[in-house]
Amino acid sequence: MKKLTAVLALVSLLFAAPLVCADDHVVSRGAADGRLADAAAERARNIASLDALLATPGADKAAALAGIDISRARQALPGLNNADLSDLAQRAAALKTDPVAGYHDATDALIFVMVFAVAVLVILEVARRY
């Protein structure tokens, strides 16, 4: 009887295996690909907006006031992780558009971005050495 039960269990497993699809996970392949594409697009938008901000005429003035090489700061943008890029882009947008944030001039916003860029450059340099 035990042998018959074992054989029936084995046969039922063999027939049930094709019913279970390996592609059916918690998140479908299409949804995962969509999320990755959205994240890549958001990252590209954040880099583009920060790069455009650093390319403005006032950025040179702000960089000179902060003592930052603006071309090096622009080159360091792709080295930031997604969270830092998103945070920096949101802060830069808020500083340009929200007078309640305390800044009324784009130069002040650029100085903030430059100071953050210097911090990022220092972090990247330290990480590169270790």
Asked if 35 contacts 28 with a C-beta cutoff of 8 angstroms, the reply is no
Q: pLDDT value at position 39?
A: 92
Q: How far is CA 34 from the centre of its chain?
A: 15
| Tokens 């049930």 sit on residue | 16
Copy the structure tokens of residue 48. 């583009």
Question: Whole-angstrom Cα distance, residue 63 to residue 68?
Answer: 5
Q: What are phi and psi of 7, to 5 degrees?
A: -65, -45
Amino acid identity of residue 113, one-letter, is: V
pLDDT per residue as tens digits for the range 81-105: 888 888 888 887 876 676 555 445 5
pLDDT per residue as tens digits for the range 1-37: 667 776 666 666 666 655 555 555 677 888 888 999 9
pTM: 0.58
